[in-house]
Structure 1
Amino acid sequence: MEQPQVFVSFFLDASRPNSDGKCLIKLNIYQKPHKRRYATKFHVTKEDWAKLNSAKLRDEDLKEIKKKLNALQSQAEDVVATIKPFSFVTFEDAFIKGIVTTPTATTSRMLTDWFTTSINLLKANDQVGTAGTYQTTINSINEFKKNLQIQDITPAFLQSYEKHLRSENKSLSTISIYMRNLRSIINKAIKDKFLSRDAYPFKSYEIPTGQNVKKALKDFDINHILTYTPEKADQQKAVDFWIFSYLCSGINFADIIALKPSNISGNYLTFYRQKTIRTKKKDLRPIKVGLNSRALAIIEKYKNTDPQNPYLFSILEAGLSAKTIKNRCQRFIKWVNKRMYEICEDLGIENKTGTYAARHTFSTVMKRKGAPTSFIKDALGHSSVATTENYLDSFEDEVILEYANALTTFNQSVLKAV
């Protein structure tokens, strides 16, 4: 028997206005004949509630509340979509308590349905970036062949799909991401006993991988950036945050914007990577960074002064959805990159030097200065040395040429002795 549809909406509890005459907005979850309401942090008057639901909303404060309510509703709907069959208790665990459980295995044979289930779970777990790559993957597969079933993924299909991606000039990195996402779906189907392990298509197909394009700067280019003083304030802010990333073990910008004052203790910064904090359950270790005087000065210069804002830097504020945080991060990175490209042009640095170059540059400088790969691995927050080695820059051209010349250059005293 098909379950009744679940509806997500909001309800103004006008029965208990506060001293300012404002009433609590509640999240309303309705599945005929049952409904439950959950308190939000938003209070408005009856008049403002009517405005919130009108087509022509002009009040800026109410616009912000509506924006956050829309994000909350979207998040709730994503969680509801993962719960099959729907249960209020499971919803409360996933949404109210923040405990996301794996949804019941889909009974559909359609590959798109398996991707949709995983995408909804990722969104419910605030992994909006990964959810985006899964959505891009299934879009690409559907463009190649429509209406595929889970058992249609064979070694022959994987070979033909890879050939198709190459014909579209997709990079090895993109092909690898698509194939790894598809492999994850197949593994899920096998784990849920929907697909036989004997039918595992990746045992006779190897996912292509390519070396990362080296983005590290040479020593004299690093020095130019460290000593550069832009005339424009926006360029100064961009280069300051680039330098902060470089000085703090190549910290990702997603981790920079998520920092809080509690992450700073004296001359040390301690944090968990946002990339792994929700996905890595075992051996989750914090990254500890020593802060030199330059890094401390940047923190002091840009630290948030709003006591209501919990973040170290005022790029984010409280109450934002995971999707909004992702968008803010992407916009900030784009903003910094644009100005860093301008700075590199002024300095005569040939390669475009965006935010990610700071991370590669940190790891390569550590290598040049003789730091053990194990130390660099821990500083970057990698789980394996192999991952770190992909970050480390190849030997510079001058060093390669030096070794080539050494093949025909010998110690004269040794030659005379012979």
Structure 2
Amino acid sequence: MDKASIEFRETCTLYINKCEKIYRDQKQFNKDEFRTLFFKKEEESNNTGSLFLSDLFDQFINENKSLKPKTQKHFQYTRNVFSNHSPNINVLDINPAYINQFVKTRTKNNVTQSAIDSSLRDLRRIINYFSNENCVIPSSYRYPFGKGGYSIQNFFPRKLVMSNDNIKSIIELKEFSSEHEEYAKNIWEILYRCNGINFADLLRMRWDNIKGDYLIFFRKKTETTRKNNKKEIVVPLSNELLALFERVGKKHSPFIIGKLNEGYADNTFENKSKKMSKQINKDLKSLGTKLGITIPLKLKTARDAYATSLRRAGVSKDDIGEMLGHSNSIVTEHYLASIDLESTKAINQHLL
């Protein structure tokens, strides 16, 4: 494990990879041509590439210009996670044993299972890309995921949810310390009444999404992740929702809350969404404290509150999934299970 030996093995791996790529690209093997290409200077040849995991992450980001800024940052974060865990690791050293050790270490460091799984999904995407699309990884490499390897689980952490009284107290709140607090409350209620959408969906929502008595749109989250079975979100325009649009809506803008301009860039959208969310969540936290709500009041809790309200009212799982825009009932089943922590109290009330 001395430094010189490690560097020697890394060099050998690069040479082997270079040989395999040259051999694969030759229509008919020619030894002299093979030698010429192999000894060609690195800067003159496109047949070499680093197999260091950190370099593959950087190359993936650079080659996929269509990635949204938020996705790029996510991959950059995952790159740093693996770099900190295993500096200068070669992708060929990633096997099921390595992944299990990675999971064990991250769990020991109190990283949530959902965060660990997210990192592993990014890792899997990198390996798939450089195995099947930009074929840098040798075909002899043993794929570490799936059958015979490590299986990434779908993990839905259980959540604490607000009671109906808590939700009602937010909706009926009339006294505020500032205009910012009132605005934050109105935005949260709009998300709640719009089938529990994310703030990003509201930020880019347009007046022309209103079709008669309904608000119809696609969720931003599923816009690029689903190739098939895309679902429109259909929100009935209730009097309460129309009144909220009157309070916060900007009629002069094509966008309902008027915070974007036509032709906005992805970076502009991400920066605006992040900045506004931070301020609104700060004001919501203050409101939650005033109302005595023990569960942190945030923009994202509007979705949980919406699903919980429907479930408590006896709405079927399939109908809830349809309104939330879930692709199938399995997703809804996991989602509802994750917000059902409060039911444990009712169950254990039967104890003597």
* TM-score band, normalised by shorter chain: 0.7 to 0.9
SS at match of 2:216: strand
- What fraction of aligned residue pairs are identical, expressed as a percent? 29
Q: 1:109 Cα deviation (Å)?
A: 2.2
Which residue of structure 2 lines up, in the alignment, with residue 288 of structure 1?
A: 234
Amino acid paired to 1:336: I
Q: 1:381 Cα deviation (Å)?
A: 1.6
Amino acid paired to 2:241: A
- Among 103, 111, 120, the residue aligned to 1:162: 103
SS at match of 1:142: helix
- Among 330, 335, 342, the residue aligned to 1:391: 335
Distance, in Å, in 2 between the alignment partners of 1:255 and 1:181 is 24
- Among 250, 261, 265, the residue aligned to 2:196: 250
Distance, in Å, in 1 between the alignment partners of 2:316 and 2:287 is 32
Describe the superposition over 1:326-377 as per-residue Cα deviations: whole angstroms up to 9, x where unpaired: 1211121111111111111111111111011110111111111121212211
Q: 1:249 to 1:121 in 2, by over 3 A?
A: farther
For structure 2, which runs of at least 5 residues remain unmatched after alignment? 1-45
Q: 1:158 Cα deviation (Å)?
A: 0.8
Distance, in Å, in 2 between the alignment partners of 1:126 and 1:108 is 22
Q: Does 1:325 align with 2:269?
A: yes
Q: 1:257 to 1:126 in 2, by over 3 A?
A: farther
SS at match of 2:314: coil
Q: What RMSD over aligned residues (CA atoms) do the two structures have, in Å?
A: 2.3
* Residues 175-214 of structure 1: pairs in structure 2 closer than 5 A: 175-192=116-133, 193=135, 194-196=137-139, 199-203=142-146, 204-207=149-152, 210-214=155-159
Distance, in Å, in 2 between the alignment partners of 1:266 and 1:105 is 58
Q: Does 1:259 align with 2:202?
A: no
Report if aligned partners of 2:210, 2:216 keep a CA contact under 8 Å in 1. yes
Report if aligned partners of 2:161, 2:295 keep a CA contact under 8 Å in 1. no
Q: 1:148 Cα deviation (Å)?
A: 2.2
SS at match of 1:288: strand
Distance, in Å, in 2 between the alignment partners of 1:106 and 1:302 is 56
Distance, in Å, in 1 between the alignment partners of 2:313 and 2:275 is 34
Q: Does 1:362 align with 2:306?
A: yes
TM-score (norm 2): 0.78
Distance, in Å, in 2 between the alignment partners of 1:398 and 1:166 is 28
Q: 1:106 to 1:368 in 2, by over 3 A?
A: farther
Q: Does 1:347 align with 2:291?
A: yes
Higher RCO structure (Cα 8 Å, ≥6 apart): 2
More strand by share: 1
Which deviates more, 217-226 or 317-326? 317-326
Report if aligned partners of 2:229, 2:327 keep a CA contact under 8 Å in 1. no
* Residues 30-109 of structure 1: pairs in structure 2 closer than 5 A: 107-109=49-51
Structure 1 consecutive aligned stretches of length 4 or more whose deviation exceeds 6 Å: none
Distance, in Å, in 2 between the alignment partners of 1:377 and 1:268 is 18
Which residue of structure 1 lines up, in the alignment, with residue 161 of structure 2?
A: 216
